[in-house]
Chains A and B, each alone.
Chain A
Amino acid sequence: QQPVQSPQAVILREGEDAVINCSSSKALYSVHWYRQKHGEAPVFLMILLKGGEQKGHDKISASFNEKKQQSSLYLTASQLSYSGTYFCGTDSGGYQKVTFGTGTKLQVIP
């Protein structure tokens, strides 16, 4: 089953924060986060491998709640370059096979 992301779409003004949630019906081994610009392949943002793990770089961070089979991506002080569609990817078996979530379209406006 495909992980469900929320919200489906969000519009932010530069400098605002956003949270994107990813929820799976299966137990998770790891969660990946990607950003995709229109017409391009996804770009890897980060992997979370352990329940409760949090990671981040620049102003983008993520958390992984293994018990709840959920992950959240946090974008703070958004920039125009953050615009794109964000996908979580979940790995339930530890075999690197990633199932992509439904996607969240983020648009940052001046």
Chain B
Amino acid sequence: GAVVSQHPSRVICKSGTSVKIECRSLDFQATTMFWYRQFPKKSLMLMATSNEGSKATYEQGVEKDKFLINHASLTLSTLTVTSAHPEDSSFYICSASGTSGNNEQFFGPGTRLTVL
């Protein structure tokens, strides 16, 4: 159990366009979802925390208007990179935690975004 999917797995887009990434918990209800960004050979950096039905909490330095997060249901969160630029190219990973209370996070397989 505890499977998290992400779609798409890879996306290439032109500079200035918007890209939407979906994160779904397939077999459990995710009260909280997290979005991370990882640059090559670097650690994962938390971008934001989203709770179902409320506004996301962004980490310092992350632009809310550029990285739009929506957590409309207990199984789906979306990250939209608006007006993407080449410097937004990165590996975006979501994770979800359930209601079991044991603090474990389940990671999606990641989405590799390349902005040309």
Given contacts A47-B102, A99-B46, A100-B44, contact A42 B34 (CB under 8 A): no
A99 CA to B110 CA, complexed, in Å: 18
Tally of A-B Cβ pairs under 8 angstroms: 51
B45: nearest residue on chain A (CB-CB)? A100
Which of B36, B44, B107 contacts A43, CB < 8 Å? B107
Interface size class of A (residues with CB under 8 A): 20 to 34
- Inter-chain contacts of B103 with A (CB < 8 A): 30, 32, 47, 49, 91, 96
A99 CA to B97 CA, complexed, in Å: 15
Given contacts A97-B34, A98-B34, contact A44 B105 (CB under 8 A): yes
Give, as a whole number of angstroms, the nearest-CB distance from B68 to chain A.
20
- Inter-chain contacts of A97 with B (CB < 8 A): 34, 46, 49
Decide if the interface of chain B is mainly helix, strand, loop or mixed. strand
- Inter-chain contacts of A101 with B (CB < 8 A): 43
- Inter-chain contacts of A87 with B (CB < 8 A): 43-44
Which of B46, B107, B112 contacts A42, CB < 8 Å? B107
A58 close to B (CB within 8 Å): no
Interface residues of B in 86-103 (CB under 8 A from A): 93, 97, 102-103
B28 close to A (CB within 8 Å): no
A101 CA to B32 CA, complexed, in Å: 21
- Inter-chain contacts of B34 with A (CB < 8 A): 96-98
A96 CA to B101 CA, complexed, in Å: 9
* 11 further A-B pairs in the complex, CB-CB below 8 A; given A100-B36, A100-B44: A34-B107, A41-B110, A44-B105, A47-B102, A47-B103, A47-B104, A49-B103, A96-B103, A97-B49, A98-B105, A102-B43
